[in-house]
Amino acid sequence: MSVLAAQFVRQGKKIVAIGRNYSEHIKELNNARTKEPFFFLKPTTSYLPTGGNLEIPRGVVAHHEVELGLVIGKGGRDISQDDAESHIAGYALAVDMTARNMQDEVKKKGLPWSAVKGFDTFTPIGSFIPKSSISDAHNLSLSLKINGAIKQNGTTGDMIFRIPRLIEHVSSIMTLEEGDLILTGTPSGVGPVNPGDSIECALADSTGKVLDEVKFTAVSRDAGYQFKP
């Protein structure tokens, strides 16, 4: 197993986040379905290890999006779908936090999403799960609770573009490197996280066995950026 990949939170160079990869999530945000995988980048400084505090900037409405992440073990460019599996070292449970009210503003103007997705602490992340621990990455359940109430509960079987296609597409545009994380999209049920909320996420296999959990608490950030619509 790649040592660097197992330490992807500290060593990885980029987070590639796939958008609009679950039909019900596309509908709930009134987005258009894309003809090919659609992605954006998040900085690795946004990682928040489980147990930490999610810092919500002033004026921001922060939404949770629970996702399966895949960790690249062998880098490459123009990776074929047939070869994609050999480039995966493992998986991780993640949350793609989103400044939704900021996103609504920049989408109207056709501007980038870097700030919307890139705040410090905006990628809560679990432990590295070796590929050998997961027999079928498209038969996993993703769930997220806020203060004990289930908000998201989906299956990776509902992905529109499956993992080999995601790796093929991203690597046709930019080289994937060891320790990079690809977030594969979120099921429906996204919604706000407020200061004081306790968030619990889980990744489980088809038998119900929990493979990992991510827990964090939302707090207000008093310094730094303030969003003013």
Closest residue by Cα to residue 184 from 201, 209, 164, 212 = 164
Closest by CA position to 185, among listed 34, 58, 43, 54: 34
pLDDT tens digit sequence for 42-77: 999 999 999 999 999 999 999 999 999 999 999 999
Is 197 contained in some domain?
A: yes
Q: Is the pLDDT of residue 26 over 80?
A: no
pLDDT category of residue 2 using cuts at 50, 70 and 90: confident
pLDDT at 40 over 90: yes
Q: Domain containing 75: what range?
A: 3-222
pLDDT at 91: 98
Domain count, the chain: 1
Q: Which of 157, 225, 186 is nearest to 19 (CA)?
A: 186
Q: Specify the pLDDT at position 169.
A: 98
Whether 192 contacts 100, CB under 8 Å? yes
pLDDT of residue 3: 82
In a domain, 227, yes or no: no
pLDDT value of position 229: 86
* pLDDT computed for residue 20 by the predictor: 87
Whole-number Å distance between alpha carbons of 25 and 66:
11
The confidence score (pLDDT) of residue 31 equals: 73
pLDDT, position 225: 97
Mean pLDDT of all residues in the chain?
95
pLDDT at residue number 29: 65
pLDDT single digits (tens) 157-207: 999 999 999 999 999 999 999 999 999 999 989 999 999 999 999 999 999
Amino acid letter for position 25:
H
Question: pLDDT tens-digit profile of 107-123?
Answer: 999 999 999 999 999 99
Spatial contact of 186 and 67, defined as CB atoms under 8 Å apart: yes
**Does any domain span residue 51?**
yes
Virtual CA dihedral for 217, 96, 20, 43, nearest 10 degrees?
160
pLDDT score recorded for residue 34? 77
Residue 229 resides in a domain: no
106 lies in some domain:
yes
Write the CATH number for 177.
3.90.850.10
Q: Does the residue 84 lie in any domain?
A: yes
| Between residues 211 and 23, the one the model is more confident about | 211
* pLDDT above 60 for 1: no
Look at residue 174 and tell me if it is in a domain: yes
